[in-house]
């Protein structure tokens, strides 16, 4: 199942979009506050793009080359 965003108000979590679950379904989740700062979000997405490129580099054991720069 995908991530569901919700608003917590008056002691109740209210999803901000439709949730594909039968009515009265019991669910389990770990709430975490979402930072609504768009600049921070853009910075995180940029960092994830860089990490994704490194992951897809084809080098499987980058730790093996860790000490190459050491004298």
pLDDT digit string (tens) for 22-69? 999 999 988 888 777 778 778 888 888 887 776 666 777 777 777 777
Does some domain include residue 12?
A: yes
State how far the Cα of 34 lies from the Cα of 12, in Å rounded to an integer. Answer: 16
At 22 the pLDDT is: 92
Return the structure tokens found at 33.
Answer: 């506050």
Report pTM.
Answer: 0.42
Q: Which domain holds residue 33?
A: 6-59
Sorting pLDDT into bands at 50, 70 and 90, what band is 1? low
Return the structure tokens found at 44.
Answer: 């995180």
At 13, phi and psi to the nearest 5?
-85, 120
Does some domain include residue 71?
A: no
Give the start-end residues of each E strand in the chain: 6-9, 12-15
First-to-last C-alpha distance (Å) of the chain? 50
Sorting pLDDT into bands at 50, 70 and 90, what band is 3? confident
Does some domain include residue 15?
A: yes
């Amino acid at each position: 199942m995908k991530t569901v965003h919700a608003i917590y108000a008056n002691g109740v979590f209210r999803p901000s979009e439709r949730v594909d679950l039968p009515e009265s379904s019991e669910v389990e989740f770990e709430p975490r506050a979402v930072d609504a700062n768009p600049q921070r979000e853009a910075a995180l997405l940029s960092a994830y793009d860089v990490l994704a490129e490194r992951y897809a580099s084809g080098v499987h054991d980058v730790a093996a080359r860790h000490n190459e720069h050491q004298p």
